Structure 1
Amino acid sequence: MSRIVIVVIDGFGIGAMPDADAHRPGDGAADTLGHLLDRHRAATGHPLALPTLEALGLGLVHPHPDLARAPTLPVAAGRAALGYPGADTYAGHQTMMGADFSRVTVARFAGHLDGVAAALRESGHGTDLLGGRPVLVADGCILVHDNLEADPGVNWNVSGRLEDVSFTDVLRVARVVRSVAPVARVIAVAGRTDAPLHTFVREGALGTVGLDTPASGFYRNGGLAVRHLGASLDRARRLPELAVDAAVPVTLVGKAADVLACDAAVCLPSVDTTEVFALTRDALRRAPATALIVSNVQETDLAGHQQDAARYASVLRRTDTGLSTLLPLLSSPGDRLIVTGDHGNDPVIGHACHTREYVPVLIHRPEAARPSTAGSRATHPDHLPPAHTLADVGATAAVALGLRAGALGSGTPLLRPAAGSAGAPR
């Protein structure tokens, strides 16, 4: 019997991957957590207090002087490479759930503008170019454009201003775009601004052009509505579907409810971090002895996009507090709290895009006698291997739930199941 809670801290990187500079020059210096801790100390004169994350082993995977090196809880701690190209929430979550996203198509919108325009016209939508730039204006007010917050060409956005159009109308256009888009994700976004959307269109990296969403006010003016429309994937080989097929109840909380989009799961969307943890606790209290809960803390990512280190620190403190409230509810052998990220979003790097960084993998194991550090399986079977990817998070959760990890599209379990748990050998 195992209750598995996976908490994804969106945009929580712990240092650039070796190929970060190849994706965006300068990102080889990215370090979301390290820069955040440095900035907080410089601004306040004292370290950022993250006692729960430190107890879970964060200082083991990021040896920053402001983090305690020794975990005080029974954990296994390590870091994960992303396991997919670029740095993207949708691809990150799909990879984490076992989907093979190693071949995500990267395409700038300019190269597909004519085909998208034709599809929209065939569906009854009007289309125009925005001032001769590679941005489509659908129905006079909805922009179709490159996403400037992820690596160039990974995602496209369909954006509308709620003062001009409803989110339903934005979503209708986005679904047509999704039907012909080769990229991993088409994101429908609507919100409120103080000026027309076209005034916030900017040039991005590598020839991309799109809406500067943080500058537009969408993230701060209220009413934000978002829907992630992902590329086709083999859902039968993802962790939520495998769990449901095995009669394991699945709950998706926060942004995970949208990004993972499992029809048979209980979906509890929310953006506010405090509410995300309240919903997670409530789901955990109601859960039977074997269950899967996946929660996403989105506000860290939003703060990174806004390049607001102070806000990021505030959200991370609330996240730390929220994690502390989950631990007493996960005390049975085989229960797992897995804390990780999906990419980086360095709030001081100098741009509002995701950063290609390693992410932490912190696994609380209440049945373990002591904490363990990342190392070789040859020296201790409960140590995390020195190199793994986000796909291994889903595989580890699958085995703990008594599911066959090989049924996933990708991933290798990091830990053996606990004796007496659902996934333990019999």
Structure 2
Amino acid sequence: MTRTVVVVIDGFGVGAMPDAGALRPGDLGADTCGHLLDHCRAALGRPLRLPALGALGLGLVHPHRDLATGTRLPVAVGRAALGYPGADTYAGHQTMMGADFSRVTVARLAEHLDEVGAALERAGHRTALLDGRPLLVVDGAVLVHDSLEADPGINWNASGSLDETSFDAILAIARTVRAVAPVARVIAVGGHADGPLRDFVREGDGGTVGFSTPASGFYRNGGLAVQHLGAPLDPTRQLPQRAARAGVPVTLVGKAADILACEPAVRHPAVATSEVLAHTLDAVRAPGDALVVANVQESDLAGHQQDPDRYGEVLEQVDTGLAALVGLLDTPGDRLLVTADHGNDPTIGHGYHTREYVPVLVHRPGERGVARMPDAASLAEVGALAADALGLKAA
């Protein structure tokens, strides 16, 4: 019985990559981990309680006074560059699982308004510009716009109020946009806003214009519905489908269940960290081989909301779950890989992701000592480590 678990702490970076300031010069100082630890020590009057992350070697990747720098666990530790442009959850997970997103097209919606509007009208929708801005109002209820929660031009969104329309209607619009979009991801988002959607339209960096999901109340008011529609890729070459073909049961938890393709996989979409951890632990407790890929989203949401207090609470909750996973993964050949998909510094002063290195912490029962891994050029190294643990042949 061999179990391999990948836990992605969404938005948990460990320091800016050298090109982090290309878009926003202030992001050269981004450090999600360090700034979060400093803030919480000052706000709480104590360090964050992260014994499991310390034992997994986080302090060896990011030396900080509040992190242990030694461990008795058999671990391999390092960090990875992202391996794709910008800083994006979808591109991060697809890269991690083995897709090549290094050449993702970056484009503002303004550059493709005519094409997108024509596609929507051919599909029977009504479209109009909102106050002359490069943003479409579809059927009087759904906004098609640049995403303001990723680097400019990486993603487009179709956002609608669930008080005015159904998520199925929002998703149908998003699928039509996806068919003509050159960007990595089109995201269908439905929620309950604090007022008319037009009140939350904002100008972003790089000439983008979009709907501010954090400002709208979608994250606070409950009932959030999201579906990610990605650029074409070959999922048969990605880790989940490779594992499934080899007869390894695959479980996808949290946002990973929404954005990774694998027909045989058991899926547990969830946002609440407690649910993500519970589903992950249940999958590990099941008998037999297993590949589990889990995403903890609430860390990323706290970063978008620039709420380091909430981020700290989530990280302590994750740490408790990691401790339980370490206790369960005790068979030689088992692996627990803890990483992230990008940074999201909750103290940086904006609600975007930050382009940071991410930790790669590997618990490896049956091995001895601590191995230091060189910096990886891409998140694809995480998937490669998991594939090796499962004994999968090269894709």
Match of 2:383 in 1: 394
For 2:287 and 2:204, the matched residues in 1 are separated by: 45
Choose 6-15 or 236-245, whichever is displaced more. 236-245
Partner of 1:266: 266
- Residue 403 of structure 1 aligns with an amino acid whose one-letter code is L
- Residue pairs, 1:44-59, within 5 angstroms: 44-59=44-59
Show the counterpart of 2:368. 369
Tell whether 2:26 aligns with 1:26.
yes
Match of 1:412 in 2: none
Answer whether contact 1:8 1:342 (CA < 8 A) is retained. yes
Aligned to 1:309: 308
- Provide the C-alpha distance between the structure 2 equivalents of 1:370 and 1:388, rounded to a whole number of angstroms: 24
Q: Give me the whole-angstrom Cα distance separating, in 1, the residues matched to 2:338 and 2:315.
A: 13
- Counterpart of 1:68 in structure 2 is 68
Report how far residue 385 of structure 1 moved: 2.5
SS at match of 2:157: strand
Q: Does structure 2 conserve the Cα–Cα contact (< 8 Å) formed by 1:106 and 1:154?
A: yes
Residue identity matched to 1:240:
P
* Cα separation, 1, equivalents of 2:264 and 2:152: 33
Deviations 1:178-203 (Å, cap 9, x if unpaired)?
A: 00000000000011112000100000
The amino acid of 1:274's aligned partner reads S
Question: How far is the alpha carbon of 1:395 from its aligned partner?
Answer: 0.8
Distance apart, 1:61 and its partner CA? 0.4
Whether the aligned pair in 2 keeps the contact of 1:85 and 1:104 (CA below 8 Å) is yes
- What does 1:295-306 correspond to in 2, within 5 Å? 295-306=294-305
Structure 2: give runs of 5+ residues left out of the alignment. none
Q: Is the contact made by 2:235 and 2:261 (CA closer than 8 Å) also made in structure 1? A: no
Shift of residue 360, structure 1, vs aligned partner: 0.2
Q: Cα deviation per residue 1:222-258 (whole Å; 9 max; x = unaligned)? A: 0000000000001121111111111111110011000
Asked whether the equivalents of residues 79 and 374 of structure 2 are also in contact (C-alpha less than 8 Å), the reply is: no
Q: Distance in 2 between matches of 1:363 and 1:178?
A: 36
Q: How does 1:122-137 map to 2 (within 5 A)?
A: 122-137=122-137
1:284 corresponds to which residue?
284
Q: Percent identity?
A: 69
| 1:291 aligned partner, one-letter code | A
Counterpart in the other structure of 1:360: 359
How do residues 18-417 of structure 1 correspond to structure 2 at under 5 angstroms? 18-288=18-288, 290-372=289-371, 374=372, 384-405=373-394, 407=395
Contact kept in structure 2, 1:8 and 1:339, CA below 8 Å: yes
- Opposite residue 36 of structure 1, the aligned amino acid is L
Give the secondary structure class of the aligned counterpart of 1:294. strand
Residue 103 of structure 2 aligns to a residue whose secondary structure is coil
Task: Give deviations 1:229-288, integer Å, cap 9, x for gaps.
Answer: 000001121111111111111110011000113222111100010111110111111141
Shift in alpha-carbon separation, 1:287–1:154, aligned structure 2, 3 A: farther
Q: State the Cα distance separating 1:404 from its structure 2 match.
A: 1.4
SS of match in other structure, 1:33: helix
- CA–CA distance in 2 between the matches of 1:135 and 1:218? 19
Contact in 2 for aligned 1:127/1:136 (Cα 8 Å): yes
1:3 maps to 3
**Local SS of the residue matching 1:26:** helix
* 1:417 match: none
Q: Which deviates further from its counterpart, 20-29 or 315-324?
A: 20-29
CA distance in 2, matches of 1:62, 1:388: 18
Judge which range, 132-141 or 42-51, deviates more.
42-51
> Counterpart of 1:63 in 2: which secondary structure?
coil
CA contact (8 A) 1:200 1:215 kept: yes
RMSD (Å) for aligned C-alpha atoms: 0.9
Q: TM-score, normalised by structure 1?
A: 0.91
Residue aligned with 2:5, SS: strand
Secondary structure of 1:271's aligned partner: coil
Classify the secondary structure of the residue corresponding to 2:295: strand
Cα distance in 2, alignment partners of residues 322 and 23 from structure 1 = 35
Q: Alignment length, in residue pairs?
A: 395
Deviations 1:320-366, CA, capped at 9 Å, x for gaps:
01111111211111100000000000001010000000000000011
Letter paired with 2:13: G
Quick one: distance in 2 between partners of 1:326 and 1:62? 22
Q: Which amino acid in the other structure matches residue 40 of structure 2?
A: H
Q: Secondary structure at the match of 2:136?
A: strand
Q: CA deviation at 1:25?
A: 2.2
Is the partner of 1:149 in helix, strand or coil? coil
The CA deviation string for residues 56-105 of structure 1, in whole angstroms up to 9 with x for no partner, is: 00000000111111123111110000011100000000000011111111
Distance 1:225 1:113 in 2: 25
2:4–2:290 CA contact under 8 A, matched in 1: yes
Distance across 1 between alignment mates of 2:239 and 2:80: 18
> Which whole-Å CA distance do the structure 1 matches of 2:226 and 2:382 have between them?
26
Task: Normalising by structure 2, report the TM-score.
Answer: 0.98
Deviations along 1:23-53, whole A, 9 cap, x unmatched? 3221101000111011111112211111100
Superimposed CA distance per residue, residues 97-148 of structure 1 (whole angstroms, 9 cap, x where no aligned partner): 0111111110001001110000000000110100000110001010000001
Query: How many Å separate the matches in 2 of 1:32 and 1:395?
Result: 25
Q: In the alignment, what sits opposite 1:419?
A: none
Q: Secondary structure at the match of 2:117?
A: helix
**In structure 2, distance between residues paired with 1:36 and 1:351:** 15
Residues 82 and 341 in structure 2, CA contact (< 8 A), matched pair in contact too: yes
